[in-house]
Chain A
Amino acid sequence: MDAITGAWQWLGTAANWAGEKGVWHRLGEHLWLSGLCLLLSCLIALPLALWLGHIGKGGTLAVNVSNVGRAVPTFAVLVLLTLSPLGKHGDWPTIIALVLFAVPPLLTNVYLGIREADRDVVEAARGMGMSGPQLLRRVEIPLAYPLIMTGLRSAAVQVVATATLAALAGGGGLGRIITAGFGNYDTAQVVAGAVLVALLALVVEGALVLLDRACDPMRGRRRGQRKRGRGPVEELPPAAAPTRDVSTGQPT
């Protein structure tokens, strides 16, 4: 496997890490883009999903938006936006595409989380005289926490993956190392870039799993007694009827 030794050498060469096309610069671009877009997606999807879940309307939309998102190729959207008048404004096509693909998993998971919160508990809280906002903050959100975090995780991984694709449409980010490698038939660089991208995605996923555990409002209280109804849904589609599957968008 000379590709691996080649990639290792590439990664070990200081020149490849420095400068405009170096790893550090690309990593910075990647993280900046991903962070910004994740923030924007949360700002759009979270309030909407919490509100829809709270009033119990718009379920079809919230659930099906993920299914539609899976059918649309990210690459196509990126290129279409790049060729549109927006393409003249630097990173905007990438940012819009990233947000478009991060919103569906967030929306679906958060909405379902709020809807799946134990109705008896919600009714009891209402009976104790909690107002709508109180109910949401103290009962529904804590109960929906596992699914909210699942949505965040899948959105984050989605964003990191999509930021990689930005390179195909001439944007920045770590993907550029891969596309540049393909461009000048440098297999070592292609593999090195791929390793960096894969590592970043796994690190983001792992960091969010840890964050999930650290912030869990029910920490240590869930063990041994499963919630009634569906437990926290794994971040990949459990076999559900296709109309009700909770899942990540497509990996990109």
Chain B
Amino acid sequence: MAQGGGPGCLERNDWICGEYLRTRSQELLDATLQHVGITVVSVLLGLLVAFPLALLARHRRGVAGPVLGLTTVLYTVPSLAMFALLTPVFGVSPSVVVTGLVLYSLTILVRNILAGLDGVPAEVREAARGMGYGSARLLFEVELPLALPALVAGVRIATVSTVAMTTIGSVVGYGGLGNLIASGMEGFFKAEVLTASVLCVLLALVADLLLLGLQRLLTPWTRPRSGGRRVRRGAAVAKAVG
């Protein structure tokens, strides 16, 4: 309700409305939390599924073709159709949305994990084997850390697309901020649609930046070190060779 003179921005149905933010903050928070929850669960499950798939595809080249082919086919199915196809399986529940999003994330995650592992230099692998590393230790202590940048690049792409695609989940009522966009559309409520849309884009950007920060934390060796040490090491090598 407007205080003082003139109708408030809710009554005028403005696109940008402070009053809306004040009065519906709980609704916005709930939707955002649902959105974040669906995204996080989907990407984590996607990683859990993609990882063994990638390892399988790597060790059995015969499996690689079908795995990559199938995930690409899944990626082609439009999300509305994907959620619709999963509805009879799970009923109207968040599982529909999460499963669909997991299937989508597989494509990118499997490809990036594979590419990251393929990018590990052969001599590094040989050296680790020579030092007596078994295949499990080699994977977790040498190959995975070196594949991290490619893996995180994949997780970033998957997360950003997942945040955007979660909105379609509103078709079964579990779309996080998408639910607000849908209800705003039905009620012609401009502030609700715009606020939810902007929050959604912000969420994607924040997630992207957080993952980038995580990658930098996990891979300190990729950052350029101060030049001094490198020069000194070079000098030492030169002396030793000299």
Residues of A near any B CB (own CB < 8 A): 1, 3, 67, 70-77, 79-80, 82-83, 157, 160-161, 164-165, 167-169, 175, 178-179, 181-182, 187, 190-191, 193-195, 197-198, 201-202, 205, 234-242, 245, 247-248, 250-252
Q: A236 near B193 (CB under 8 angstroms)? A: no
- Given A83-B185, A251-B161: A72 touches B201 (CB 8 Å cut-off): yes
Near A by CB (< 8 A), chain B positions 133-156 give: 149-151, 153-154, 156
Q: B78 near A160 (CB under 8 angstroms)? A: yes
Write out, one digit per residue, whether chain B residues 165-184 have a CB within 8 A of any chain A CB (1) or not (0).
10110111000001001101
- Given A76-B167, A236-B108: A245 touches B80 (CB 8 Å cut-off): no
Q: B168 near A202 (CB under 8 angstroms)? A: no
Q: B185 near A164 (CB under 8 angstroms)? A: no
In the bound complex, residues from chain A placing their C-beta under 8 Å from that of B168 are 75, 165, 168, 252
Chain A binding surface SS class: helix
Question: How big is chain B's contact interface, by range?
Answer: 35 or more
Q: CB of B33 within 8 A of chain A?
A: no
Task: Apart from A73-B200, A164-B80, A198-B85, list 6 A-B contacts with CB within 8 A.
Answer: A73-B167, A79-B197, A193-B84, A245-B153, A250-B161, A252-B79
Q: Contacting B115 at CB < 8 Å: which of A77, A164, A193, A238?
A: A238
Chain B binding surface SS class: helix
Q: B80 near A197 (CB under 8 angstroms)? A: yes
Q: B85 near A169 (CB under 8 angstroms)? A: no
In the bound complex, residues from chain B placing their C-beta under 8 Å from that of A82 are 185
In the assembly, what is the distance between CA of A67 and CA of B208, in Å? 11
- Given A164-B78, A236-B108, A238-B111: A71 touches B84 (CB 8 Å cut-off): no
Q: A242 near B84 (CB under 8 angstroms)? A: no
Q: A195 near B165 (CB under 8 angstroms)? A: no
In the bound complex, residues from chain B placing their C-beta under 8 Å from that of A194 are 80-82, 84-85
Q: A165 near B78 (CB under 8 angstroms)? A: yes
Q: CB of B163 within 8 A of chain A?
A: yes
Q: B78 near A201 (CB under 8 angstroms)? A: yes
Q: B200 near A76 (CB under 8 angstroms)? A: yes
Interface centre among A1, A168, A250 (most CB of B within 10 A): A250
Q: A70 near B150 (CB under 8 angstroms)? A: no
Q: B108 near A237 (CB under 8 angstroms)? A: yes
